[in-house]
Amino acid sequence: MVRRWLLILAMLALAPLGRADVTASVDRTTLYSDENLLLTIRADYPEAEEPLDLTALSTLFEIEQQTQSTQSRYSTSAGRERWREWRLWLRPKQTGTLAIPNFKLGDERTEPIFVQVRDAANRQDGLPEDAVILEAELSDESPYVGQPVILTIRLKYQVRLQGTFDSLELDAFEAEQLDESSSVVRENGQQYNQYRLVYRLTSEQAGVVSIPEIRFSGQYQSGQFNSARRITRTHRGLDLQVRPIPDNYPGDAFWLPAESVSLHDNLSSTLELTANEHLNWVVTTRVNGLPATRLPNPIADLDGDDFRLYRNEPEFEEGDPLGRRRDMAALVFTEPGTYTLPAVRVPWWNLRTDQLAWAEIPARTVTVIAGAQTTITPTLSEPAGTTATEPAPASAGVWPWVSLSLGIGWVATALVWIASLRRTPTHRPAPVTQSEPTRQTDWANLKSLARTGQPSAFYTALTTALNRRHHIHLDRLKPDLDERARHCLDQLETSLYSVEAGEPPETADLVNLVDALERALKRGNTKTGSDPTRLYPD
């Protein structure tokens, strides 16, 4: 009996082991941190139909590439075999001993695999230190909050080199890449190929802010047969001490830390305008040390009871070293008189002197005159008497004769006019003045211009006609317009002068606006009972 059991055990020991249904293998178990590892997972059917869970694997390795295939074969001993194979190229996320976890498919699972990952910075690449140099520098290591600094990364090399930088984690900054270039430079009497990266970094948080480790991994050709060898260069990273906004900076002002800020415009020091004339005002802000898009609108809060501003969208121009912001607006004074256009002032922090500074356009005196055809108001001259102590002019004796002649002429003219009244019928046609056909032509021309689809030209012609022919501004007629015409006028002015410019009105609405304005003017004349042919109303 004992002999029988020993025979069975011997047969089991000599029998070949059955192949597992799910297996995992790697192409090597030791590698550097910048190298890839090939993991192969094989599963027979029906286990191969199960999904492969890679969640645990992705915590320690970056899966850079993945493929899968289905294969089959037939043998007389095993019959038909069919399996699926996954191939994964892995890059370790850290150094040390890492475990590739087991994978469960159906009721089968693989065994874990342990790999040793070494720091690539410690690899002996066989090159002198100055053959490949990695540098990083900041334009300022103690900036203010909101102040951009320039990070420059340079890779200098004297070998045939290929490779990449690891992804640079700059989440603590508002980061923008400004430049990527290659050039040839000389340093310490040696010639280098140089690859350069330039970033603009802005921190919105005060305190210590760090730029993490910068790593380059690549390979170069070495030896007689130009075999590829791996190389790594690492920079430890940089720290910035970000300063808060100074206490003496105006609390309600836009924070502007810069090398220089200046304001300029296109207006002369003294201005003379016509009432309701639209003057194009262009204010330019120049800055050194900040992107132009960071500049505020210097006339955003400018307002007054004597004038109006119709603002347009700003324009930006980035330069080296100066950036520019252009703010454009239509400036309108509605009434004649003498006014003061307020000064434009923008505070900024001078980084060169570390002090508060102001950019300014000084205030201006503006003289506003009435339109070209202003109603004439008669004035009475002072009595032209002389006192006894004043000597009479030598030619005083001539004027009595002149006055007598004029008086006789006036009497003769009056007699002729009375005689003509007696011969003229009682019913007279309404007098027609020279300005009346001109006004009728204005309305027709305005309607034609409205149909051309040129809202800016139409608006200019409309305001000019009202000012010069009727001595009135659009704002005074707006309350007399119907709702459709008022909406059209608002939409037209918004599309031309508002910051949030929209679509101009339809041509039919512009034609309707002309009709509405004509009706409003006629109603105004009827209400006042004025006669346009009379120079002086009673």
Q: Is residue 283 part of a domain?
A: yes
Range of the domain at 215: 129-242
Domain boundary (118, 139, 163) is at 118
- Which of 46-55, 150-159, 493-502 is predicted least confidently? 493-502
Q: 524 or 153, which is more confident? A: 153
Single residue among 242, 271, 289 that ends a domain in this structure: 242
Q: Is the same domain home to 113 and 53?
A: yes
* 55 and 107 assigned to the same domain: yes
Q: How is residue 105 written in tokens? A: 């498919």
Q: How many distinct structural domains can be found in the chain?
A: 4
Confidence of residue 219 (pLDDT cuts 50, 70, 90): confident
Task: Pick the last residue of a domain from 242, 270, 290.
Answer: 242
Domain-located, residue 281: yes
What type of residue sits at position 296? P
Same domain, 168 and 97: no
Residue 133 is predicted with a pLDDT of 92
Q: Which amino acid is at 407?
A: G
Tokens in use for 467? 């000012």
According to DSSP, the residues that pair with 160 across neighbouring strands are none
Residue 261 sits in the same domain as residue 235: no
Place of tokens 């874990």: 112
Residue the block writes with tokens 């690539």: 120
The predicted structure's pLDDT at residue 216: 92
pLDDT-based confidence at residue 508 (cuts at 50, 70, 90) = confident
Name residue, tokens 């600094």.
149
- 346 versus 84: the higher-pLDDT residue is 346
Maximum Cα–Cα distance across the chain: 175
pLDDT tens, 130-171?
A: 889 999 999 999 999 999 999 999 999 998 898 999 888 899
Select from 267, 273, 270 the least CA-distant residue to 337. 273
* Whole-angstrom distance, CA of residue 223 vs CA of residue 221: 7
Confidence (pLDDT) at 537 = 36
Q: What share of the chain is helix, strand, coil (3-state, %, to 5)?
A: 25, 40, 35
- Assess whether 114 and 156 both reside in one domain: no
- Taking the C-alpha atoms of residue 521 and residue 517, their distance in angstroms, rounded to an integer, is 6
Q: Rounded distance, CA 180 to CA 162, Å? A: 16
How many CA atoms within 13 Å lie on the side-chain side of 508?
Answer: 1
281 has a pLDDT exceeding 90:
yes
Q: Which residue has the tokens 């001078």?
A: 350
Task: Give yes or no for residue 528 having a pLDDT over 70.
Answer: no
Alpha carbon separation from 483 to 220, 479, 486, 489, 494 (Å, rounded): 77, 9, 5, 10, 16
> Would you state the structure tokens that stand for residue 360, as one six-digit string?
């300014």
Q: State mean pLDDT over 360-372.
A: 89
Classify strands 113-118 and 30-32 as parallel, antiparallel or unpaired: parallel
d(CA 328, CA 314): 7
- Please say whether the dihedral angle defined by the alpha carbons of residues 182, 187, 192 and 197, taken in this order, is positive or negative: negative
pLDDT at 418 over 60: no
Q: What is the pLDDT of residue 57?
A: 92
- Residues 137, 236: one domain? yes
Angle at 115 between CA 112 and CA 121, to 5 degrees: 155
Task: Give the Cβ contact number of residue 533 at 10 Å.
Answer: 12
Model confidence, pTM: 0.54
Q: Is the pLDDT of residue 372 over 70?
A: no
CATH number for the domain harbouring residue 193 = 2.60.40
Query: Are 219 and 177 part of one and the same domain?
Result: yes
Mean pLDDT of 189-195: 91
Percent of the chain having pLDDT more than 70? 76
Dist CA 533 CA 400 (whole Å): 34
Query: C-alpha angle 324/326/327, rounded to 5°?
Result: 145
Whose tokens are 């918004």? That residue is: 494
Residue 383 lies in a domain: no
The stretch 393-405 carries a mean pLDDT of 45
- Whole-number pLDDT of residue 146: 95
More confident residue, 385 or 518: 518
My answer on whether 288 and 214 are in the same domain is no
Per-residue pLDDT for 18 more than 70? no
Q: Tell me: do 140 and 204 sit in the same domain.
A: yes
Residues 226-246: what's their mean pLDDT? 89
* Mean pLDDT within 252-273: 93
Residue 482 carries which DSSP code? Answer: -
Instruction: Give the Cα separation of 122 and 32 in Å (integer).
Output: 9
Omega before 112 within 30 of 0, i.e. cis:
no
Residue 511 lies in a domain: yes
Task: Tell whether 224 and 148 lie within a shared domain.
Answer: yes
Q: Do residues 362 and 341 lie in contact, with contact meaning Cβ atoms separated by under 8 Å?
A: no
197-203-207 Cα angle (round to 5): 120
- Mean pLDDT taken over the chain: 79
Buried b (16+ CB within 10 A) or exposed e, 500-520: eeeebbebebbbbbbebbbeb
- How does pLDDT run across 87-103, given as a tens digit for each residue? 999 999 999 999 999 88
More confident residue, 362 or 410: 362
Q: Is position 40 within any domain?
A: yes
Lowest-confidence region among 266-270, 400-404, 408-412, 491-495: 400-404
Provide the Cα torsion 496, 497, 503, 504; round to 10°. -40
Q: Indicate whether 72 belongs to any domain.
A: yes
* Domain shared by 238 and 261, yes or no: no
The CA distance from 83 to 53, in Å, is 18
Tell me, rounded to whole angstroms, the distance of Cα 363 from its chain centroid.
29
Q: 500 lies in a domain?
A: yes
Confidence (pLDDT) at 84? 86
Q: Are residues 135 and 167 in the same domain?
A: yes
Residue 452 lies in a domain: yes
Q: What is the dihedral of CA 39, 43, 47, 51, to 10 degrees?
A: 30
